[in-house]
Amino acid sequence: MIPVSLLVFVMAGWCAVYLADTLLRSSATYRINYESWLASRGLMLSPFHVRWQTTMFNRLFAYCARINPRALYLWFSSGLVFGVAAMLGSVVLLVKTLQQTYAQMTTDNPRIGGQQTLQVVVPGVNLPTSQLAYFFIALLLSGIIHELGHAVAALRESVRVNGFGMFVFVVYPGAFVDLFTTHLNLISPAQQLRIFCAGVWHNFVLCVAALALLFLLPVLLFPVYATGVGAMVTEVVQGSAADGPRGLSVGDLVTQLEDCPVRGAEDWAGCLSQLSRVPQTGYCVPAAGLQPSWAHGRPFKRLDGTMDCCSNNSLTDLCFSYIKPQGRNSREREFACMPVRKMVTGTATCRSDNDCGVNSASVCVTPSLENQTRFIRVAHPPSPHMLFVGFPPHLQYAVSLTNFVPRFGFLHLDLPVFMETFLKYVVSLSGALAVVNSVPCFALDGQWMLNALLEATLVTVVTDRQKRELIGFFLLLAGSALLAANVALGLWMVTAR
C-alpha cells in the first residue's frame, strides 16, 4: 500500500499550490500582476501540474545543430534505425512483461516477481524514500537529454524550436521542447522520423554511457579509492546481528568469512550463500582443553532433533560436538560446552579430524546448532573476529557494504556509493524512457514515429491517405491498450498486494 504520510504530504502540497493560484487569479487587486508575473517567467499552473518554458537555450540548440553537419546526419540517421527497431522491440518487451505480471498474479512464488523486465515505480512503495533524490535527478536528466535530441534534430532539419521547458506532474519531473508545427508538417517523413526518433536514441546513448561509467568506476577512482582488498562497511542496521560492541562498525574492512575470502561486496553475499548451503565448518582445537558435557549437564535434543549441551543460557558459551579421541574408530560423538571465542580464536578450519593431522593432539570440533543455523567468524582486521550465530541471510542484510576503500583518511566512504547508485538509476530510467517512448501509443513519441514510418513506407502500397491514417489509428489503439494494461496491472501489483 502507498504510505499514508507520503500521500497526505503530496496532496496537501498540491492543494496549497492550487488554492494560492485560485485566490490570486480571483483577486481584483493581484490578478493582473500575478498573471503577468506567470507569463513573464513562462510558468503555467493546473491541478497536479506545473510547467516552465523558456527560450534561453535556443541559441545553444542552434549552435549544437551547426556542429559538423555530416556527422550529425549520420548520428540522427543511426537514431532513425534504432527508433524503428526500438518501436518493434518495445512491443515485444511489453507483451513479455504483461505475461510475467499475469504469472506473478496467479502464483505465490516470490521469485517470479524479481523476473519482471519492467516494473512500475511508485515512490515510497517500491522505491525507498531515502533514494528519492537519485530517482528524481536521474529522471530529470534523462528527460533533458531526451528533449535535447529532439531540439537539435529539429533545427538540423530546419524546423524552428519555439522553446524548451520542464514540468512536474504530481511528483514526477520531466522536460519538453515546443516545435513549430507548420515547419514540421512541410518536411519529408524520413526527416520527421529523424526528429521523432532522436529522443529515444539519446536516451539509449545516455543509458550506454552511464553503464560504461559504472563499469569503469573502479578505474576512474583508482587514484583515491582501492578495490579488491575487501568489503568496506558503510552502514550497520541498529539492533541487527552485526550491531554491538564486538560487532561491525562503519569503516570496518571485512576480508574473510570463515575460510571464504571477501574481496568486495559481491563476495560477501556469495560467501554467506555458500556457507548456508555447506555443512557447518569445524575447528582444530587441542583435545586436552575439551571439557565433556557432564560439566554442564547431560546433552539433550532440541525440537528439530539436533543436540545441545549448554544449559546455562550463556551468551559466551556454545555446544561443540567431536569424535572421542579414544574412540575414533567407533565414530562415537561427544559434546562439550565451551567458551566460544576461546575455542575458535586462531584455530584452523576443518571438516574431519584428518584435517587437523593424523598424529596431532588436536581434534575437529563442530558447533552443534539448529538446522539452517550457522556459526560464522567474520574477519575485519585489526579488530578481533566478529562471531555470528544465526541464519546467514540475517547477517547479509544487517550491513551495507561497498567495494571502494578510501586511500586517504579525509575521503568520504559514501562518495563511490552515491556515484554507483546514481549511475544505476540513470541506466534504469533512461533505458525505461527509451522503451516507453518507443511504444506506438497516443501522446508518446511512438505515435509520431509510427505515423511518419507509415507515411514513408506505405505511400506506394496504400495510396489513400485516410486508409493509412486508419491503419495507424488501430495500431496506436493496440499499443495504447498494451501499455495501459502493463501500467494498470503493474500499479495493482505494487500498491494492492
Grid cell listed for 284: 582444530
Task: Count Cβ atoms within 10 A of the Cβ of residue 436 and give its class: 0-12 exposed, 13-18 middle, 19 or more buried.
Answer: buried
Catalytic residue among 147, 157, 258, 455: 147
Phi, psi of 253 (to 5 degrees): -110, 110
* Distance from C-alpha of 177 to C-alpha of 333, rounded to nearest angstrom: 78
For residue 424, how many other CB atoms are within 10 A of its CB?
A: 16
Which residues have CB under 8 Å from 415's CB, separation 6+?
none
CA 270/CA 94 separation, integer angstroms = 32
Task: Tell me the C-alpha distance between 203 and 53, whole Å.
Answer: 22
Region of 316 (left: φ > 0; alpha: ψ -120 to 50; beta: rest) is alpha
How many angstroms separate the Cα of 145 from the Cα of each of 44, 138, 165, 176, 238?
22, 11, 12, 10, 40
Nearest residue to 219 via CA among 227, 211, 210, 230:
227
Backbone φ and ψ for 119, nearest 5 degrees, come out as -135, 140
β-strand pairing of 333-339 with 225-226: unpaired
Grid coordinates of 438: 518507443
Element (H or E) spanning 89, and its range? helix 69-105
Catalytic status, residue 235: no
**Cβ pair 178, 163 in contact under 8 A:** yes
Residue showing cell 521542447 = 177
**Calpha distance 320→308 (Å, rounded):** 8
Q: Is 125 exposed, middle or buried (0-12, 13-18, 19+ CB in 10 A)?
A: middle
Active site residues: 147
